Amino acid sequence: MATFGVIQNPLLRKYEFRVILKSMKVGERGQVTIPKPIREQFGIGPRSEVEFEVVEGSIVLKKRANKINLEKWRGYCKKRFEELGNPTVDELIEDMRGR
């Protein structure tokens, strides 16, 4: 049986939808199964990363944000910056600010 409710957590500064399951056991290796409806709602699947945080004496589980690999974009605008007379992003920003 589950209890559902919407609460406002001042530490997280947003509304969240909470599901409290009355009986969930931790396995011998410290594992807990995340219920399927919750996994589906938050897009948690095999190899998804999650984070644990202690908030006001409660354990909060959050899906970790996906990391974006920006390495492939390195140097992408270099030619255009040079055409504009600014060889680096920093110099372009300084030029736009009039410094």
Residue pLDDT, tens place only, 72-98: 877 777 777 777 776 677 877 887 888
User: CA 36 → CA 13, 66, 70, 95, distances in Å?
Assistant: 26, 21, 32, 53
Q: Are residues 14 and 44 in the same domain?
A: yes
Is residue 43 located within the same domain as residue 19?
yes
Q: In the numeric block, which tokens belong to residue 81?
A: 């910056």
Q: What is the pLDDT of residue 76?
A: 79
Residue 60: pLDDT band with limits 50, 70, 90: confident
Residues 78 and 99 in one domain: yes
pLDDT of 1 = 43
Instruction: Grade residue 6 by pLDDT with cuts at 50, 70 and 90.
Output: very low
Domain that holds residue 98: 68-99
Note the pLDDT tens digit of each residue in 14-56. 555 565 666 778 999 999 898 888 888 889 999 899 999 998 8
Residues 76 and 89 occupy one common structural domain = yes
pTM of the model: 0.48
Q: Are residues 56 and 73 in the same domain?
A: no
Do 59 and 76 fall into the same domain?
A: no
Radius of gyration of the chain (CA): 23
Q: Are residues 59 and 73 in the same domain?
A: no
Give whole-number Cα distances, 95 to 4, 78, 82, in Å: 54, 16, 13
Distance CA 60, CA 57 (A): 10
Question: Does residue 79 sit in the same domain as residue 57?
Answer: no
